[in-house]
Amino acid sequence: MGVYNRAPLAFERGEGARLFTAEGDAYLDCMAGIAVNALGHSHPRLVQAVKDQAEKLWHVSNIFQIPGQEALAKRLCAETFADMVFFTNSGTEAVECAIKTARKYHWARGNPERIDIIGFEGSFHGRTVAAVNASGNKSYLEGFGPPLPGFVQLPYGDHEALKAAIGPTTAAIIIEPVQGEGGARALPVACMKGLRKLCDEHGILLIYDEIQCGLGRTGRLFAHDWADGEGDPDIMCVAKALGGGFPVGACLATAEAGAGMSVGSHGSTYGGNPLAMAVGLAAVDELAKPELLAHVREVAGYFNQQLAGLKDRYPDVVLDIRGKGLLIGVKLGTPNREFMQLARDQHLLVAGGGDNCVRLLPPLTLTLDEAREAIERFERACEAARAKAKEAA
């Protein structure tokens, strides 16, 4: 189907932060499959995990016990607020599970009218019908029928609108601690703590979508960890980096929030298959290493310092620097799609984003030398954007 506006570029192999075409041209990858290849391309531990498990067992069924599922669930729970996990094949499926879990929680407590999920402008929660309704992006909803009941969208950062919107039919609030597609806007720590208090006051659940910003991307294992336990959610969606490129997602919940999800209330054919679990375990082991998280913070600090310099030198091109950790958004004064091509001309890959941003989402293993190279290429793209604007004028 013609649903992708693809760049005229194809890659044959990858190694670390590099992608290579069949002709041997190398590109510095600061997209990482849109924050998926968090450990870079062809990470030896992930490759070995696939090889070892592929020779034993790929798929059975969730009718049976799957030891790898239990092991990865225990590891995720040990690293987080959660007591239970449901495994999926993607982030949007994790969001579906989160929505169902929140509504079932209230139904089980005798409040079936509590179905409303409050989301925010600029959010992105996936492409299933429920997920696009949770996001409320009109361009993603167009042509797919009327909006579903039970979803409320509010302006981002409007605290008074949020307080006014909570009522007797509210089930949960869903939010990304750092927006990805919406323009790399980071939720302040004070707001995370405030959301937790607000949900407790009204008996509703807090859902964090950490599909893009979780698993080391911000320099802590999860973005809400920056609130030091005072902004923990009841339910959290993860994916992307969880498999390091292998399709796997998860919905994490506290025992209370997940109490309504009884036998038969949800399921998945492929979710939690042995192959995905083997890769997920290897990925989490690597991503949770304190030295990797410290490295993310160091490289992110370098990027922010250098990008601030580019903002000073190219105020006509670079308007603002946003995000947290290695989820960096650069708001542009030139069309972002045009800039992405100019970056590709410099053999640098960056992602698009809302509010005319481009996103830098490199592997978390990116070295400081590679970060310097990325900045040099980004600056050359800025020069090209400025020259193009002068020509047009």
**What positions carry a catalytic annotation?**
124, 209, 240
- Asked if residues 234 and 103 have their Cβ atoms less than 8 Å apart, the reply is no
Up-side HSE of residue 134: CA atoms within 13 Å toward CB? 29
Angle at 146 (CA atoms; ends 140, 148), nearest 5 degrees? 85
- Around Cβ 117, how many Cβ atoms within 10 Å? 26
Beta strands in 196-293 (DSSP E): 205-209, 235-238, 249-253
What values do phi and psi take at 151, rounded to 5? -130, 130
Query: Of 347, 353, 352, nearest to 373 (Cα)?
Result: 347
CA-derived radius of gyration, the chain? 21
148 exposed, middle or buried (CB, 10 Å; 0-12, 13-18, 19+)?
middle
Report which secondary-structure segment, H or E, holds 120: strand 116-120
